[in-house]
Amino acid sequence: MADTAPATENLKTLPLRALHEELGAQFVPFAGWEMPVRYGPGVMAEHLWCREKAALFDVSHMGQVMLPADEGAALEALVPMDIVGLSEGRQRYAFFTNDAGGLHDDLMIARHGDGLHLVVNAACAEADIAHLKAHLPAVDVLEGLALLAVQGPMAEAALSCLLPEVTGMRFMDARRMDWEGAALRVTRSGYTGEDGFEISMPAGVAEPFARALLADDRVAPVGLGARDSLRLEAGLPLYGQDLGPTISPVEAGLAWAIQKVRRTGGERAGGFPGADVILRQLADGASRRRAGLLPEGRAPMRAGTPLFEAAEGGAQVGHVTSGGFGPTLGAPVAIALLDAGVPSDATIFGEVRGRRLAARQAPLPFVPPGYKR
């Protein structure tokens, strides 16, 4: 996790800060916010709880924005996704690109009857909102909201006790719902690889809603530490590590997110920043590629670890973008950016504390997803 926070006294606090303290949270600065990193059981136990039951995450630090429903075409000038064709009640993963073909940030876009609901990363929220305002006429930055995520194989069963309608949702569905008179926006999505939901709600409703969820024995609070190890096992990229302004979506393994209509030959091909670079890479390939790594032994290969083609000597062929211990696998895992010419079955060697350790390339995700299709 990249810590981009300023001095402690300037940190923003979550609407549920007091509840997190009551639950025994330890806090860390993250992206300008004071965030719960772990609770009493610890990161390993919280990680496994999410894989087996239902975890409650507070992600209210994320930025939320509404655009008018008819701004899909204008938004397509900033992202290489099909927004015009996004159906009401559906959500789409997207990313802002820059003129060099790199990634400005990634985000989620949901179409509701009253417009397009965007959720952007906390560390990039200010820049993303300025980017939107520079190109779109009506950008409504939503204030006074909380965003909670319920993730895990028991997430549906637990959340349906409060919101029965969620049982009819499938992966990436988006719905408006009411709970005790409050208007909610619910998507069936998340950042763990497990089935789950993200719920946007007025900040004043967050505490009673969270307490109602936590009253269920299947639900436990989980912090930022486990959120990072869960997304790593799920092969989900983190902006600032696996994604960034010098990494193209093709290099990052995100070509799947660019719909046919925005590609060469499509009805609305190109027209987004860096389109010439990205469309060329889609056709001809990129000079680098994303790969999963399973290091031998127990030593993790952390972000920034240089990668080589041989145990001694030889050329550097890439670096680790995210790495750590995978509690579900009981072994270290890593995501790497490798030279495209490296064979997919070649053993890679990461230099850790002056020693080169072997790692086997592996397909992503490391843990099969539990999404409800």
Q: What is the pLDDT of residues 198-232, one digit of tens each?
A: 999 999 999 999 999 999 999 999 999 999 999 99
For β-strands 348-352 and 306-308, DSSP reports them as: antiparallel
Q: Which CATH code, of 1.10.1040.10, 3.40.50.1970, 3.40.605.10, 2.40.30.110, is assigned to 287-363?
A: 2.40.30.110
pLDDT (average), residues 41-63: 97
Q: Cα–Cα distances in Å, from 161 out to 154, 157, 189, 288, 296?
A: 12, 7, 18, 46, 44
Give the CATH H-level superfamily of domain 8-63+143-233: Probable tRNA modification gtpase trme; domain 1 (3.30.1360.120)
The answer to whether residue 44 scores a pLDDT higher than 90 is yes
Is-contact 173 185, C-beta < 8 A? Answer: no
> 8 falls in which pLDDT band (50, 70, 90)?
low
pLDDT at res. 9? 67
Beta strand residue intervals within 230-329, DSSP E:
288-295, 306-308, 316-326
pLDDT at res. 2? 41
> 6 falls in which pLDDT band (50, 70, 90)?
very low
Q: At what angle do helices 224-233 and 43-52 cross, to 10 degrees?
A: 60
pLDDT (average), residues 95-101: 98
Where in the chain do CATH 3.30.1360.120 domains reside? 8-63+143-233
Where in the chain do CATH 2.40.30.110 domains reside? 287-363
Contacts of residue 83, defined as CB under 8 A and 6 or more positions apart, other chains included, come to: 72, 73, 75, 76, 92, 94, 109, 116
pTM (predicted TM-score): 0.95
Using the 8-state DSSP alphabet, how is residue 243 labeled? B
Residue-averaged pLDDT of the chain: 96
